[in-house]
Structure 1
Amino acid sequence: MGKGKGKKKGKGNEDQPSEAGGGPSGGASAQPQRQPAQQQQQAKPPAQQQQARPPAQQQPPRQTPQQSGSANEVEILVPGNKVGLVIGKGGETIKKLQDETGAKMWVVQDSRSAESTHKPLRIGGDPKKVAEARRRVMEIIGEEDQGTPPARGQQQRPQQGGPRSQQPQQSAPWSQQPQQGGPRPQQPQQAGAAPQQGGPGPQKPWPKSGGPAQQQQSATPARSGPPGFAPTPQAQPPQQEQRPSSEQSAAGVTQQMQQMNSGGPSRSTPPGFTPPQQPVQQKSPSPEKSASVVNLGLGARGRDYPALNGLLPPKRNDRPPMKKTGRVIIVETNHLGLSMKDRTKPVYHYDVKVEPEKPFRFYRPALRAIREVLYPNNWPSFDGKKNLYSAVKLPFRGDSATETVQVFDEERGQPKDVTVTITLAAEVSFSSIGQYFREGSSTRPPQDAIQALDVCLRQPAAQRFLQVGRSYFSQPRGRIVQLGDGLNLWYGFFQSAILGWRQPFLNIDVAHKGFPAAVNCIQALEEFVGGPLRGNDTINEHQATKMRGLIKGLKIIYEMPKSAQRRTHKVIDLGKSARETRFTVQDRGEMTVEQYFRETYDYTIRYPLIPCLKCGSVQREFSLPAELCRIMEGQIVLKKLNEIQTRTMVKEAATPAPHRRQKILDSMVNVRFEADPHIQEFGLTVSKEFKKVEARILNAPSVYYSNKRPIPVNKGVWMSSSFIRPGTLSNWVIYNCERRTRPNELDNLERELIKIGGTLGMSVNKAKIMNLRNDNVREVEKDFASFQRDKVQLLFVILPDRGYVTYAKIKSIAEIQVGVLTQCLKYITITRRLNPATVTNILLKVNAKINGINHNIVPEFWPTFLQRPVMVVGADVTHPSPDQQDIPSVAAVAASHDASAFHYNMKWRLQQPREEMIQDLENIMKEQLMFFYRKAGYKPEHILFYRDGVSEGQFKKVLDIELQAIRRACKSIGDNYEPPITFLVVQKRHHTRFFPTNPRDADGKNQNVPAGTIVDTEIVHPTEFDFYLVSHASIQGTSRPTKYHVLWDDAKMPEQLLEEITYYLCHLFTRCTRSVSYPAPTYYAHLAAFRIRSYIENQNIHLRNLPQEERNRTVKQEIVNNNPMFFV
């Protein structure tokens, strides 16, 4: 889905557009867990394993009950990365093997498989069938069959921590386990001290000269760089940086650097940077890795390179100690503790196959009917698709059962036969969760056990509520909240099982979603028209488009005239009116829909000029009058909300913290976990109380402006003053595109900008005011070209409420076609909201665009780490909404290029829809490193990288793909250039909330935790370094903390230091005078992605040639070089 990008930071500060107004899936078996490269060894055949094991280490024979009709059982240890080949998609391969060989096969999930790189596969049945099945499996996994192994009772396996019979078994619930790993170290150390490990670098402050670009403006000689860096070169005229195309990016950088070294017109190679040699010839991937290739591009996009496996996030206790600071408070979190009577007992995972496969709405009723027939005394949990988990082995004759039951089809009003096949797929052990608490990695979680636990906990809610992903909804009672355009707001709750330090939790939160109103289609259409419809009324194209956007894809209930019969159909489009729509009726010839209903049903259509609904399918399409159709209730739509709907949703969902807490508690009461038989059979207990955890309130930094006086930050807010480096507007234009704007309103805007700009230290001359003559894009192009020739610094563009001149078109013309800097304002901003606060917020952005510096953090607060050349990077990938399959995803990377970490520039790429990894990050980082040097005069000594938008399940890919891409980018600049990299994932799309237990610790009218509240114990990862930080003061509703997970840290910075740096960066967002909810570079990456979205809005994008699409939208170099922050 498209992502929400933060909250409003001040009045008029973040109207949309951003500048306007100033302001695990089911299968026969769970997928194998990926292991580090050093552990991925090809499994030896069992016969060889027996020979390799000394007798003293052999496991004692285990006697197990024979399967019905089987003569023996054997076990094969399958490499973890090849289990999926044996299972196949949806279990198809293993089922085919069983059908063709006659043997029984199943994957065993126990403590060995949780700790080992191999998983046991058992084969049972007649010896000949077992031998054939074993041979087939060995062919699949690519190993030589060494003959039939001994029977299961004689099988010998590699030992994983000793024989199973000798391993201690713990049956205590998780909540009673001793703490694993102990508390995080809190040994004294000076706050802000430099890390003890990491790359070499100077300890004295980074020169404030800022590099060649700034030294050109100074009369003083260039300063020497820090130790190990070449002196800053003499100032040169700004280069016209030619951004290479996606395929030629690395080649372009290489060519540029070779030109620097050739003595040609370009400047020499930057000191400290080695000109690239011939492209490095990559070794062919080894056979065991050949199946794991990713499209990264080392020098050119589209070239395949093997993913480098084996990287794991650092452990929490590996970093040096440092005293933790901040006032300690106790908060409640919406996490409920989970415990189990006996976690050593296996859980049985069954694969469910339903015929017919669709519709899915039959699945749960069919499984309820099956339970009454096949296992009435058991209460297994079903995920609604194909996974069934049982606390006991189901009483089948063998491992599979098939039954046909009748399910009532409510849409068609008749029963339907459904055949269900349930097959044992694997055994899952909850003991793997205990192992995870002791030494687990976020890249290899015990996903099988977590999924089984999660499905069981969802069962009570799934039987009583409408499920949408991990949220559950019920029809609203009482007041109906209309979101607009045919949608009503439904309230519900979210739940998910997660793992904390030493026990699992159930995370529960409130949820909100828009559902189509269950009304007659004429009534729905009247909302778009703006009033009641009469008999001969028609609708215009705009109203038809909005109605089509609501109704297309929905199910309607067709009520036959003068009859009690009902039929359910799916709408595929809007058609012509009943009077215009013609079709052929057998024996009656051609007639209109209006005629047909009059002659067949003696019914006169009341709205003959309103479009009919096209229903059915493309092969069998028919039209129905809208007045006889009603939208079916409770339909799930995945379309993105429009601006009005989003605004209403946010307003209704924003409730003070105490109210949200009570809503969550009410949801728990409605679910009734303690009385549910599924929960009881699994032996689970869900706590009724929120988990209380210790939190700290970090000390906020002080900021400063031009007078250098420290200004305290109070509850995340501070008073603005004269900018540190104010900009000058000597040649600027107010360009009005709204016809309703009066001349005095434009004069007032000019007057306020000059006056407020003066209080902020800016020098603002009189503006040229110009009106768009026609609502015509070509007129805008001509005018902008004229402004560019006149070297206009900045255009203030007044956007119309509707028409052809839109925000997206203004930005595309200005930045791609012409090359002028713009600041867009909504018409409503200059007519109703033009107060000093709004004008100040506008000028905060303008000053950054024209290379000013608004404010910064008092130097005494900056750790030594940030007093060196550090490049702070924010990266994000934004996606189109689920209904927009032909729109690419946008990857955006914003990176700092000055000593104050205030100025940023951005690079971007288009990617295939829903592609989360940044595919061309290596070339992007090369460009960012070169830009940093040109602006600052030094190469970065450290890269601090904040990556937004990835989930825990993608951590491994991020390490294997994106971290390696950054490393290669650094190495390609110079063979010896390998700066330390600290890589954090920024996560906002979670449901953790904090509630103060002491009212004196609450902040503001919403009673939230104060800005600076951090939680890094109990509910975080058991062994790795992650933390929750509330860095902002919430304007409305309940504060949502941002979660940070350290995936890599070459410098091994102390926890407190990295937490403080992250918090401080939340105070450097240029667009407001308050701390924001996540670091400024991440915000800039969002803004960059939003800007690129405007470039492709309402355009046909050729997904097969995205590099060309990028070249067609290249921002003019005079904008990129002279005004790098044009996108804020």
Structure 2
Amino acid sequence: MSHTEKGDKTATPRRLPITRPRELGKRRQTIQLLTNHFKVSGNPTHDFFYHYNVDLKYEDDHPVIGQGVCRKVMKQLHETYASLLDGKQFAYDGDKSLFTSGPLPFATNDFDVVIDGDALSRKIATSQSPGADGSPGPSDKKRMKQAGQSKRFKVDITFTAKVPISAIALVLGGGQESENSQEVLRVLDIILRQHAARQNRLLVRQSFFRRDSDCIKLGGGVLGCQGFHSSIRPTQSGLLLNCDLSTTMVVEPGPVIAFLLSNQGVKDTSSIDWGKAKRALNKLRIETTHTKAEFRIVGLSENSCYNQTFPLKQKDGNGTVDVTVYDYFMDRWSMKLEKSAHMPCLNVGKPNRPTYLPLEVCRLVPLQRYKRSLSTSQRSKLVEASRQRPDQRMSKLYGELRANNYDSEPMMKECGISIVPDFTQVQGRVLEAPQLSAADGRQLYTPNGRWNFNKNVSNRAYLEKGIVSSLLHLILSLFKCLSQFDLQSMEKYSAVIQEIHKMKHQSPAKRVEDMFRQVNIAFGGNNPEFLLCFLPEKNSDIYGPWKRECLAQRGIVTQCLVPPPNVKDQYLTNVLLKINAKLGGLNSLLKKEITHAIPHVSRIPTIIFGMDVSHGSPGRDVPSVAAVVSSLEWPIISKYRASVCTLPPRQEMIKTLFKQDGDTDHGLIKDSLVAFLGKNNKPKPEQIIIFRDGVSESQFDQVLNDELGQIMEACKFFGDKHFGGNWFPKFTVIVAQKNHHTRFFLRNGVNNVPPGTVVDGVICHPRNYDFYMCAHAGIIVCSLWDYKANTLPCAP
């Protein structure tokens, strides 16, 4: 919250410190709950964590890249030089940082670490893998010797800083967070990650996955691997370990050929698209069935296994001879390649030295992350299979805690820290559902936070001209429902246009172009106000080009749908609700809006902003899109306008809220303020409430300093232009986080917590003003998808 000093007309808005209310909320009935936070107990045996920098290189001074190799080197260092380390345990992050709970007996030291080649990696190419430049190259005997050769590393450990463990006590007491307190929490999380790494788990940020984890088959060669999330958090009741179930997508292990058939949805190898196969297999790891050696795929051969040749050195040393991969495996391994003889080979070598392997001797190894976006069908299967009763989820959490066995972690023991495996008890409050008003002042009944629109909406949109595309029988059903729905003039559609059959085999861009050719004929070259488009299937490739042409190029409101097999009135009603909102209508109003009874809002002119940034699918380098919505027509707050702009890929902070160009502001906030004031000189906003979605705790200060700072600048600039400079509204910023890992359970463990449940104590931050709210009814016990992480936090 920011404000200005009274009477100071030129003061700049300043930010007040964020503090929790002195007392917890007391309104409405209380409810006793359990939550998946577990007490971190014990007394630290030292006053400081000691931070050391780790510089890890190969013998030739090239840096070591890859957390897996780094962790193996540091593990070997600990075993080899235990006496030089004074027997101390350490927490290593897999990169440059190492922490101990007391000082090491040196400030800096160099170590030589030797690891057996087979123990370090199974990716050493042996004579079983034919290469293109004379490989297997040296004799089999020499290559076998190289496979078992030791590797030498140089490790430099240097003291960096001391981190006072007492810093966390300041936060727990309600004090200001500092770099030291954040560093203490980081060390504790590094200990948890190291513990998981020692158990050979896949690490995905703060989630861990075992090879024997339960998996969900999603189709397309993709599995939903169920694992475990853990992080240590400061709360009002001390340090708590937040544990939750989590799911990430992995490639289905097994024969490469089987994966390609499943991935492309074909039954015969002759139907495989090898261009798609190359993209799908890129950088995946495989294990050979005949040698158990492990490699990473870098591409496919240009020719089939039967025709792909490489120069093989003669045993007598008299030059080389070109042989095919097929013949080599027949002669060397007595393997008759039947399945993959006419398929390309996998290239597991280097760009200037390819190494070829037939597909049928290769298997994908487990726990390889699948980072592409899921199809609609895969998402549906994931959500369906993730449904669990709360008691089942609690049981799984107990099982994961036992499997992790944190008390066995040496670093935890040395720090004097243990985890109490009991769910934390908290008290919540259940707020009553808001009352809604629909058309003609009719009140909507909202039991358990649910309601149903039968016929009427609060404010109907008006449409003068429109077009409906395709499926006449469904259109008739839609307008039959529409007549009951009473959406004004929507029944007066202007044209029904169906795609020409021969165009269905053209590219999406051509199909859209031809459809608008028909639209132009039907409307004499004018754009219709509204388009209703029926698509043949979900994820149709025509959807993107169609939306782009309608919204970006022509400014036409559009609604696309893929009708289900059995169309019911409820489905049609839901479609009409979306159409009504898109055309500027209101589906419902809060009763308190009409009676001007919303606290802090109805009596003071208020504009409400909602801001979010959406990013492209993981692995895609596409622009991010920022959206800002703002309320209109105060004291009514249910009607909004929207503005969007593009940002650089993966950028979360919105940099275009205030964009001054000379004497003009081209930012997103200005348009919202102009629309709020309208043409009738409505009262200027005295307070601005901002709801910000999609930012993490580490970005809170950026939101306040960067985004709120821009909004303040936009208001100051706007005030100078329109109000003579005398405009300093109050600001409130509310960050909404949906994809956290806190879950609540009733004591019976069977039902979901009721909608409207609020928890604002015990597990909340000791200083920040935060709370948890279960705002909606749990129609099904399923989970929310986290697009950024490509993981699924399993939530009741």
Compute the TM-score of the two structures, normalised by the length of structure 2.
0.82
1:848 positional shift: 1.0
Structure 1 residue 990 and structure 2 residue 740: aligned? yes
Mapped to 2, the partners of 1:777 and 1:544 lie a distance apart of: 29
Structure 1 residue 324 and structure 2 residue 26: aligned? yes
Aligned 8 A contact 2:40 2:418 in 1: yes
What are the within-5 Å matches in structure 2 for residues 522-601 of structure 1? Answer: 522-528=257-263, 530=265, 532-533=267-268, 538-540=270-272, 543-559=273-289, 564-578=290-304, 582=308, 585=311, 587=319, 593-594=325-326, 597=329
Structure 1 residue 314 and structure 2 residue 18: aligned? yes
Aligned 8 A contact 1:403 1:420 in 2: yes
Pair 1:487–1:416, CA change in 2 (3 A) = farther
Give the stretch that moved more between structures: 549-558 or 798-807: 798-807
1:463 maps to a residue whose letter is: R
Aligned 8 A contact 1:389 1:456 in 2: no
Pair 1:902–1:881, CA change in 2 (3 A) = same
Pair 1:592–1:907, CA change in 2 (3 A) = farther
* Cα RMSD for the two superposed structures: 3.2
Select which of 422, 446, 451 maps to 1:689. 422
Mapped to 1, the partners of 2:426 and 2:671 lie a distance apart of: 44
1:453 positional shift: 2.1
Residue deviations 1:399-437 (CA, integer Å, cap 9, x gap)? 435231325134136343333333222211111111122
Select which of 463, 467, 487 maps to 1:733. 467
Equivalent position of 2:245 in the other structure: 510
The structure whose residues are more often strand, as a share, is 2
Aligned 8 A contact 2:248 2:369 in 1: no
Equivalent position of 2:765 in the other structure: 1021
1:691 positional shift: 1.2
Equivalent position of 1:208 in the other structure: none
Select which of 518, 521, 536 maps to 1:800. 536
Aligned 8 A contact 1:539 1:610 in 2: no
Aligned 8 A contact 2:686 2:729 in 1: yes
Structure 1 residue 948 and structure 2 residue 655: aligned? no
1:400 maps to a residue whose letter is: N
Mapped to 2, the partners of 1:962 and 1:441 lie a distance apart of: 22
Equivalent position of 1:656 in the other structure: 389
Structure 1 residues without counterparts, runs of 5 or longer = 1-194, 201-279, 281-307, 737-745, 1000-1005, 1043-1076, 1078-1128
Equivalent position of 1:625 in the other structure: 358
1:197 positional shift: 8.9
Structure 1 residue 381 and structure 2 residue 91: aligned? yes
Aligned 8 A contact 1:442 1:955 in 2: no
Mapped to 2, the partners of 1:442 and 1:760 lie a distance apart of: 54
Equivalent position of 2:712 in the other structure: 967
Aligned 8 A contact 1:784 1:818 in 2: no
Mapped to 2, the partners of 1:935 and 1:611 lie a distance apart of: 68
Equivalent position of 2:74 in the other structure: 367
Mapped to 2, the partners of 1:891 and 1:566 lie a distance apart of: 49
Structure 1 residue 645 and structure 2 residue 378: aligned? yes
Pair 1:668–1:653, CA change in 2 (3 A) = same
Mapped to 1, the partners of 2:472 and 2:95 lie a distance apart of: 63
1:866 maps to a residue whose letter is: S
Give the stretch that moved more between structures: 703-712 or 609-618: 609-618
Mapped to 1, the partners of 2:51 and 2:153 lie a distance apart of: 22
What are the within-5 Å matches in structure 2 for residues 584-983 of structure 1? Answer: 585=311, 587=319, 593-594=325-326, 597=329, 603-606=335-338, 607-720=340-453, 721-729=455-463, 731-736=465-470, 746-763=471-488, 764-765=490-491, 767=493, 768-773=495-500, 774-775=503-504, 776-786=511-521, 789=525, 792-801=528-537, 806-826=542-562, 829=563, 831-859=564-592, 860=595, 862-863=598-599, 865-884=601-620, 886-899=621-634, 900-922=636-658, 923-934=667-678, 937-938=681-682, 939-974=684-719, 975-983=725-733
Mapped to 2, the partners of 1:486 and 1:841 lie a distance apart of: 34
Mapped to 2, the partners of 1:977 and 1:345 lie a distance apart of: 51
Pair 1:310–1:915, CA change in 2 (3 A) = farther
Aligned 8 A contact 1:756 1:840 in 2: yes
Aligned 8 A contact 1:703 1:856 in 2: yes
Residue deviations 1:642-669 (CA, integer Å, cap 9, x gap)? 3332222222223222211111111111
1:554 positional shift: 0.5
Pair 1:625–1:312, CA change in 2 (3 A) = farther
Aligned 8 A contact 1:483 1:649 in 2: yes
1:933 positional shift: 2.4
Select which of 347, 367, 376 maps to 2:49. 347
Secondary structure of 1:689's partner?
coil
Pair 1:875–1:442, CA change in 2 (3 A) = farther
Mapped to 1, the partners of 2:5 and 2:575 lie a distance apart of: 41
Aligned pairs, number: 711
1:508 maps to a residue whose letter is: C
Mapped to 2, the partners of 1:891 and 1:993 lie a distance apart of: 29
Pair 1:313–1:781, CA change in 2 (3 A) = farther
Mapped to 2, the partners of 1:781 and 1:927 lie a distance apart of: 31
Mapped to 2, the partners of 1:639 and 1:530 lie a distance apart of: 16
Compute the TM-score of the two structures, normalised by the length of structure 1.
0.59
Mapped to 2, the partners of 1:777 and 1:513 lie a distance apart of: 36
What are the within-5 Å matches in structure 2 for residues 1027-1046 of structure 1? Answer: 1027-1037=771-781
Mapped to 2, the partners of 1:945 and 1:565 lie a distance apart of: 61
2:551 maps to a residue whose letter is: E
Secondary structure of 2:444's partner?
coil
Secondary structure of 2:551's partner?
helix
1:877 maps to a residue whose letter is: V
Pair 1:572–1:309, CA change in 2 (3 A) = farther
Aligned 8 A contact 2:284 2:368 in 1: yes
Pair 1:803–1:497, CA change in 2 (3 A) = closer
Pair 1:943–1:539, CA change in 2 (3 A) = same
Mapped to 2, the partners of 1:836 and 1:937 lie a distance apart of: 43
Pair 1:432–1:367, CA change in 2 (3 A) = same
1:530 positional shift: 4.3
Mapped to 2, the partners of 1:428 and 1:769 lie a distance apart of: 71
Pair 1:322–1:334, CA change in 2 (3 A) = closer
Secondary structure of 1:832's partner?
coil
Pair 1:665–1:866, CA change in 2 (3 A) = farther
Residue deviations 1:787-811 (CA, integer Å, cap 9, x gap)? 5645533221111238985111111
Mapped to 2, the partners of 1:772 and 1:1012 lie a distance apart of: 47
Query: Identical aligned pairs, as a percentage?
Result: 28
